[in-house]
Structure 1
Amino acid sequence: RLKERERSSRGKMEDVLTPTGDTILDQAVRQWLQYDRNPKTISMVQDLVKKGAVEALRECFSSRMEFGTAGLRAAMGPGISCMNDLTVIQTTQGFCCYLEQSFKDLKERGVVIGYDARAHPPSGGSSKRFASLAAAVFISRGVPVHLFSDITPTPFVPFTVSHLGLCAGVMVTASHNPKQDNGYKVYWESGAQIVPPHDVGISKAIKENLEPWPEAWNSEEALKSPLLKDPYQDTFTQYFKAIQKHCHHRDINKSSEVKIVHTSVHGVGHAFVQSAFKAFDLPPPYAVDQQKDPDPEFPTVKYPNPEEGKGVLTLSFALAVTEGASVVLANDPDADRLAIAERQDSGQWRVFSGNELGALLGWWMFHCWKEQNPDAAVVKNIYMLSSTVSSKILRAIALKEGFHFEETLTGFKWMGNRAKDLLDQGKTVLFAFEEAIGYMCCNSVLDKDGVSAAAIAGEMVAYLATKTKSLSQQLTAIFEEYGYHISKNSYFICHDQDVICSLFERLRNFGGKTESYPTKCGRFSISAVRDLTTGYDSSQPDKKAVLPTSNSSQMITFSFSNGGVATMRTSGTEPKIKYYTELCAAPGNSDVTHLKKELDDLVDAIIDDFFEPIKNKLQPKQE
């Protein structure tokens, strides 16, 4: 078999007829053709070489996908910059070696691998194919693999890691990214996503293990191995048992006549949300028929991301009107996030922001806990978490109700790991959220989970209906009790890293002065600056930030004397400069019109003062 493979490799090498003239590029192409065994990606590279498409080859081979705390995410296609059979094998080999160094009992405990429904016929890539190859790599080293036999929501992987006490988990998904993308998301034994220094260690191990191991390509044999197990049925059963602990109003649910529409946006969520509603004894939500089955082409939406708002929910609104439903729930394609919209008395639809849903779900989780725990002293054991770019509404609720609130860095990897620390200390982590419509309502999953959040939201809607309250009315009640928190978030698209760096460096050396941040923005005075790229925080006595810092990403937060907060940061998975703004008012200040005007003026000032020098190099948010 080895001789046959060597002959095949020589044949592929001979097909590199026209060198590019770039020695490093030629070497990368030759190594690729030596290692790859996928006929489609081999053919794609050979065609580029024969055409002399040097720039296209450079795009494929100039730089390897960077493995970070979010794992990998890139377009499917040939070359080291893309997701494909070979880069998945190389990544898994590195990950496996890192796990072997980290866990002496890896061969006893094993790993879990899940996947969504993404596929890319031109390159022969698919989530299921990548998951099978990853399983083959682990099995070739004697590591037990729990490989799901069918598509699952992302939350099933961290749940299985914790439930079975495994060393790690891999989920093959690109979540809400465009259809050509795929990803490789990694969980540690804690059941939470990896954080530094694991990303650096895994990345180093990947680069040290680029040549495919002898059995790495043999996925068919791996699928017959006694080391391979299917956790699907057990995880399915145990997951829904776990989330049932958060069902507190079963009698109301059983008699509820509230009509809800659900869309999975061509992803994996449909069957699982239906099962979640059944576990809560809620009437099943109406499914958007055109979007309920997985389809990697995402034919009815421009972007498969419910965070983008009404454009993704058009079919859901139409079905809701037909069925007389007042609420729409939407998952992203891997069902780890949840969007909610509600029909207003005017007939218009209100799509709640991630921060507004954080307020509603946080209120609901505490309301239900309080009903079950009348002893006020126990509240000191309760924690809620949110990311630093999310609304501070949980902090306001915590201050009044007596529980603990903590802020973490952006991303559920930080909230999941902090939740694990608190749970290990015997604390109760009731809720965590990030403004990008991610919610952890059930600490059996130390990550955002759109399936459990959908059922819990469904119960909240049913309960509010018995009080003749809508979600909008309840949100107003929360703000009136704990203080209005008005937020406005958006982004600019920028593919040029030099432009992005120039923006942030200008803010760090404002007015041409070295290490000097702006003190005003338009008519607004800046009271404090926190830079989590450099570790600077003007509000601390020693000027050093308390939260962890990273010089590999850009993130600066400005606090204003009027109670406003604005954070500018780069995205870890998309070519975006994001900005997050919020105006926090004290309870009793209910002049919403004035607050919104004040926030609008602040955002305009930020765009004019901070973004103006590079605005002609940026694309606005895509509607």
Structure 2
Amino acid sequence: MSDLRRAAAEWLAQDPDPDTRAELQALLDAGDDAALADRFASRLEFGTAGLRGELGAGPNRMNRVTVMRAAAGLAARLLAGDPNAQDGTSPDQATDANAQDGTPAGRATDVPGGPAGMAGGTGRPGVVIGYDARHGSRQFALDTAAVVTGAGLRAWVMPRPLPTPVLAFAVRHLGADAGVMVTASHNPPRDNGYKVYWGDGAQILTPLDAEIAAAIDAVGRVDELPLGKPGDWTVLDDDIVEAYLVALDGLPLDGSPRDVSIAYTPMHGVGLEVLRRAFARAGFPEPAVVAEQAEPDPDFPTVAFPNPEEPGAMDLVMALAERTGADLAIANDPDADRCAVAVPGPDGWRTLTGDEVGGLLAEYVLRHTRGGDRLVVTTIVSSSLLGRIAERHGVRFAESLTGFKWIMKARTAPDDRQVFGYEEALGYSLGGDGGVPVRDKDGIGAALAIAALAAEAKRDGRTLLDLLDDQARRYGLHLTAPLSIRVEDRALIAGAMTRLRTAPPTALGGLQVTRVDDLTAGSGGLPPTEGLRLRMPGARVVIRPSGTEPKLKCYLEVVRPPGDNDRDAAARTLEAIRTDLAATLALT
């Protein structure tokens, strides 16, 4: 028997899922060694993004065995000690980073609105588990609960499919030591994933990911794991959603008008119910909803990719906005942690970039909060505009590596009070004078704030496009655009990065490349990361592989000084850079 067939037989013997057992048995019976190699010659690697991959049998797929192993590894790491240690920060930083709510290391001492007896710091370590409406998500959540309770931990499971920001909020609200969200966010329907949070309510970082991965490697057969059963874990009720909505009351919305009409889509995901309740609670009119995309559907039948950034993904909501005469179109991705915005313009509806929304929300938050200790954060691939906004408003500014796991750990001083963080990929976390209530991107909270901003502009006879022009006049025009290239073979991405390092381009879009930064060596005090940054006069390009999809992602920015507000000229320069970069990469 070959090693592949032996590994498949061993997997088959422990797999509790009749569907993946049948899939694997069919491959064994057919002698399909290529398909077996695809599933067993490699495996999904647990990292700072947790796990994410295609559903199916074998260690290189998302399935019940993979999830149970991950849960057992997480439980082992929690039981190994100090569940309050922060990923990649010193003990002092850990305390300061989580002091915004007055509790050390993100542990709740009181859980208003939560079930009795769930305060952190007592008894066994605990894990709160959420899930979206994708194929397999609920079962993966229940498997996680069974494994962690079988290992002797406490577990709380969300009452139904809910947005990722509700889970991220619940970690701190319940005083849990960790959180798990079963979701693949905006990936294609064939995928699912497993995102892990620590006791501070933020996603895990190095070295914690490696410690959990090592614990997963030590897990034996899953059919030999001790398992809890229903009744051993707590199924939460709607109080947890209500507590999240109460927390959103802390957003700086007071005094803003509410006269704004919105067209909305949850994009076949789980955002609709919570967003409707959040809007009603804040006094906004109920949005018009895209009927074809209103209900959760794990097959995402109306979009090629359920990602608001993808071309065509927002066509239905913009069409609804046009029909209803809406002021604004808003989309959440399927797990509602991202928020996309479209507005009417002279040439019809257009989507705003994540950087445009980030700049607008940053100034909105800074106008409605106070204090020189306020901190705003973005990533090295996002627009440089936020730094200029922070300087003008006299607040602290930090850059982080890509992803909210880094944004929520960024600090410039021990007493930083983060009130805003964003990344260009439509992710935003914002708060009032008490800091951010959710330590991850929050598409519901962002939708509330952008509605308030649009209502303010409408009251003054203006639009979000007018506000963008105001920013260009104040800070200079900052125009950004992505170049994302999807591949079937990730080795092509590694090859492209090697070529760029060996022979970087000398010019792009007619601009001389004056400097190349290899981000694997670290940059500006940040940890090393896979990527390159190319600098040109008045322009910048960052190139990096995606951490969750088989994509090479490039982030382009052209900056014109205040007074030079020629968007057409800047757009032509941006497109020229994009064209030359695509030719240099040679991946299409």
Residue 68 of structure 2 corresponds to which residue in structure 1?
89
Residue 332 of structure 2 corresponds to which residue in structure 1?
331
Shift in Å, 1:519: 4.8
- The alignment status of 1:158 with 2:165, answered yes or no, reads no
Residue 229 of structure 1 corresponds to which residue in structure 2?
234
Distance of 2:269 and 2:123 partners within structure 1: 33
Distance of 2:390 and 2:167 partners within structure 1: 31
Distance of 1:503 and 1:295 partners within structure 2: 36
Shift in Å, 1:574: 0.8
Name the SS of the counterpart of 2:484 in structure 1: strand
Q: Which amino acid aligns with 1:508?
A: R
Name the SS of the counterpart of 1:137 in structure 2: helix
- The alignment status of 1:593 with 2:568, answered yes or no, reads yes
Post-superposition CA distance 1:92-112 (Å, at most 9, x none): 111111111133779534110
Shift in Å, 1:325: 1.1
Distance of 2:252 and 2:386 partners within structure 1: 21
Do 1:250 and 1:281's aligned partners in 2 also have CA atoms closer than 8 Å?
no
Q: Which amino acid aligns with 2:573?
A: E
The 1:407/1:245 distance shift into structure 2, 3 A limit, reads same
Distance of 1:464 and 1:86 partners within structure 2: 52
Name the SS of the counterpart of 1:319 in structure 2: helix
One of 389, 392, 416 as aligned partner of 1:400:
392
Q: Which amino acid aligns with 1:457?
A: I
Distance of 2:271 and 2:148 partners within structure 1: 28
Residue 532 of structure 2 corresponds to which residue in structure 1?
556
Q: Which amino acid aligns with 1:235?
A: I
Distance of 1:485 and 1:388 partners within structure 2: 15
One of 208, 216, 219 as aligned partner of 1:209:
219
Post-superposition CA distance 1:193-226 (Å, at most 9, x none): 011111111111111103116455x5xx62222x
Name the SS of the counterpart of 1:268 in structure 2: coil
Residue 529 of structure 1 corresponds to which residue in structure 2?
516
Distance of 2:275 and 2:182 partners within structure 1: 20
One of 416, 425, 443 as aligned partner of 1:427:
416
Post-superposition CA distance 1:143-192 (Å, at most 9, x none): 11011121110011111111122110000000000111100000011111
- The alignment status of 1:359 with 2:366, answered yes or no, reads no
Structure 1 gap segments, 5+ residues each: 1-18, 120-125, 511-516, 538-544
Residue 418 of structure 1 corresponds to which residue in structure 2?
410
Distance of 2:491 and 2:128 partners within structure 1: 39
Residue 196 of structure 1 corresponds to which residue in structure 2?
206
**Pairing of 1:226-265 with structure 2 (within 5 A):** 228-250=233-255, 252-253=257-258, 256=259, 258-265=260-267
One of 164, 170, 180 as aligned partner of 1:170:
180
**Pairing of 1:91-490 with structure 2 (within 5 A):** 91-103=70-82, 107-119=123-135, 126-212=136-222, 214=224, 216=226, 222-225=229-232, 228-250=233-255, 252-253=257-258, 256=259, 258-309=260-311, 311-346=312-347, 348-369=348-369, 373=370, 378=371, 380-418=372-410, 425-442=414-431, 443-490=436-483
The 1:165/1:459 distance shift into structure 2, 3 A limit, reads same
Residue 544 of structure 2 corresponds to which residue in structure 1?
569
Shift in Å, 1:286: 1.1
Do 1:193 and 1:417's aligned partners in 2 also have CA atoms closer than 8 Å?
no
Do 2:169 and 2:438's aligned partners in 1 also have CA atoms closer than 8 Å?
yes
Do 2:159 and 2:238's aligned partners in 1 also have CA atoms closer than 8 Å?
no
The percentage of counterpart residues that share the same residue type is 37
Do 2:300 and 2:306's aligned partners in 1 also have CA atoms closer than 8 Å?
yes
Distance of 2:144 and 2:293 partners within structure 1: 29
Do 2:509 and 2:574's aligned partners in 1 also have CA atoms closer than 8 Å?
no
Shift in Å, 1:246: 1.4
Do 1:100 and 1:106's aligned partners in 2 also have CA atoms closer than 8 Å?
no
Distance of 1:325 and 1:267 partners within structure 2: 22
Residue correspondences, number: 547
- The alignment status of 1:494 with 2:493, answered yes or no, reads no
- The alignment status of 1:33 with 2:12, answered yes or no, reads yes
Shift in Å, 1:601: 2.3
The 1:466/1:276 distance shift into structure 2, 3 A limit, reads same
C-alpha RMSD over aligned residues: 1.9
Name the SS of the counterpart of 1:383 in structure 2: strand
Shift in Å, 1:250: 4.8
The 1:232/1:479 distance shift into structure 2, 3 A limit, reads farther
Post-superposition CA distance 1:526-552 (Å, at most 9, x none): 2322212244x6xxxxxxx521004xx
Shift in Å, 1:491: 1.1
The 1:266/1:522 distance shift into structure 2, 3 A limit, reads closer
Residue 6 of structure 1 corresponds to which residue in structure 2?
none
Structure 2 gap segments, 5+ residues each: 84-120
**Pairing of 1:24-63 with structure 2 (within 5 A):** 24-63=3-42
Residue 56 of structure 2 corresponds to which residue in structure 1?
77
Distance of 2:336 and 2:562 partners within structure 1: 35
Indicate the structure with greater helix content.
Answer: 1
Distance of 1:224 and 1:70 partners within structure 2: 30
Distance of 1:84 and 1:235 partners within structure 2: 28
Shift in Å, 1:418: 2.1
Distance of 1:577 and 1:322 partners within structure 2: 37
Do 1:178 and 1:304's aligned partners in 2 also have CA atoms closer than 8 Å?
yes
The 1:233/1:58 distance shift into structure 2, 3 A limit, reads same
